[in-house]
């Protein structure tokens, strides 16, 4: 009887599953960045409207107003503070944006819509942080997620859960953009030609 040679376990076991999981995490990052860009677009509308409302800025051109806007925004800001910043623009009665919306038919709906959307943004942001601030590895026949390379704190990655987060973040960016566009139409601003339609 001829002896059969046992094949060694491949070092590539699980490589396809691991690469698929990493690809989904990459798309989570991309879609989160898209949502962040749409949030910046929304803040652009709000900040520029308030800047244009100041008497000293009435005669500024669109380019001059945009240059002034750039001096008013932080270089980088995390998502939760920006969500709160939008809430402040919409919710404080003394702010020019809130005053303008009160003059519009149905203008009071924006603050309520933002409350619900803001909660969702923060929840998805937290889920994104859990997905991105971890390491993916192959262990015991599964793709696992580890925090700080700590192998004792592994959780098995559920591909459908990560795919759902990827898709939800993609939809979120579109929803924020649509909200910003609707709100922008209610705020007569000098650069309305830059509104996304």
Q: Which residues pair with 154 in a beta bridge?
A: 146
Compute the mean pLDDT over every residue in the chain, rounded to the nearest whole number.
85
Residues 51-69 pLDDT 10s: 888 888 888 887 888 888 8
pTM of the model: 0.82
Long-range contacts of 11-17 (CB under 8 A, 24+ apart): 13/138, 14/138, 14/141, 14/142, 14/143, 15/138, 17/138, 17/143
Rounded distance, CA 188 to CA 190, Å? 7
């Amino acid at each position: 009887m001829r002896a059969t040679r046992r094949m060694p376990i491949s070092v590539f076991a699980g490589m396809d599953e691991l690469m698929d999981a990493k690809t989904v995490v990459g798309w989570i990052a991309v879609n989160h960045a898209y949502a962040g860009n749409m949030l910046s677009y929304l803040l652009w509308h709000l900040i520029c409207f308030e800047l244009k409302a100041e008497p000293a800025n009435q005669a500024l051109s669109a380019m001059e107003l945009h240059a002034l806007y750039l001096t008013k925004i932080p270089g980088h800001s995390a998502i939760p503070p920006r969500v709160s910043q939008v809430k402040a623009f919409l919710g404080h009665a003394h702010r020019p944006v809130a005053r303008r919306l009160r003059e519009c038919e149905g203008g009071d709906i924006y603050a309520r819509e933002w409350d619900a959307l803001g909660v969702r943004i923060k929840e998805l942001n937290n889920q994104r942080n859990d997905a991105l601030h971890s390491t993916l590895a192959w262990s015991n026949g599964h793709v696992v997620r580890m925090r700080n390379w700590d192998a004792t704190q592994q959780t098995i990655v559920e591909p459908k859960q990560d795919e759902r987060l990827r898709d939800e973040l993609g939809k979120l960016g579109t929803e924020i953009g649509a909200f910003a566009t609707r709100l922008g139409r209610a705020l007569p601003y000098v650069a309305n030609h830059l509104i996304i339609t």
